[in-house]
Chain A
Amino acid sequence: EPEVTQTPSHQVTQMGQEVILRCVPISNHLYFYWYRQILGQKVEFLVSFYNNEISEKSEIFDDQFSVERPDGSNFTLKIRSTKLEDSAMYFCASSVGQGASSPLHFGNGTRLTVT
């Protein structure tokens, strides 16, 4: 069964450094997403991406965050200057369509630790 893959599985970085989290969505999916989960908390929406542009973003997704689809297969999340509170699991997801009957399929996440 096709799956969303994320790399790396764990990223440790120092505060103020830039990180890029990488994702390969399922190949025939058109919508891409980033969510995050702080330890012990619920999964939170960050951003959705369609047709090479952001379709929606949350309050969390401020100017420090950016997303890109640099080629036909990768989807990346960049955090420009990491803060301690950015430490979390970051999940990439993709879906065929949007809304009802188009469930999101998630990767296994990248655990980001900011020290």
Chain B
Amino acid sequence: GESVGLHLPTLSVQEGDNSIINCAYSNSASDYFIWYKQESGKGPQFIIDIRSNMDKRQGQRVTVLLNKTVKHLSLQIAATQPGDSAVYFCAENGNDYKLSFGAGTTVTVRA
């Protein structure tokens, strides 16, 4: 069946360092992937997306990498800041057009 999962439930990172959050998916038919950030008491906030015909996409301080061969997605955050502390979810959009979310990685930024 379909599943979207993250490799690690928690990540602690020093302020100023780069963060890498990983996600594995199993549905090879998925053609669109999204990273969301969820802060306490708020809804998922769109960070960046990537289509399956790309392997890298960059935003402001964030980069998403897609490796379709091993069905792996990662989110890189450059120069992590205290405001980056949140739960990060990867989500995939398969041929049924609904988003399937992973379990989330809690990122804690140490000052």
- A contact residues vs B (CB 8 Å cutoff): 4, 6, 33, 35, 41-45, 48, 55-56, 58, 91, 93, 98-101, 103-109
Given A43-B101, A45-B98, A56-B96, the answer on whether A103 and B34 have CB atoms closer than 8 Å is: yes
Nearest-CB residue, chain B, relative to A105: B46
Q: Which interface class (under 10, 10 to 19, 20 to 34, 35 or more) fits B?
A: 20 to 34
Contact B96 A42 (CB under 8 A): no
Contacts of A35 in B (CB 8 A): 99
14 of the cross-chain contacts (CB-CB < 8 Å) are A35-B99, A41-B103, A42-B101, A42-B104, A43-B91, A43-B99, A91-B43, A100-B31, A100-B32, A100-B52, A101-B32, A103-B49, A105-B46, A108-B43
Given A99-B31, A101-B32, A101-B51, the answer on whether A106 and B98 have CB atoms closer than 8 Å is: no
Assembly CA distance A91 to B96 (angstroms): 20
Contact A99 B97 (CB under 8 A): yes
Against A, the Cβ 8 Å flags (1 = close, 0 = not) of B67-107 are: 00000000000000000000001010100111111111000
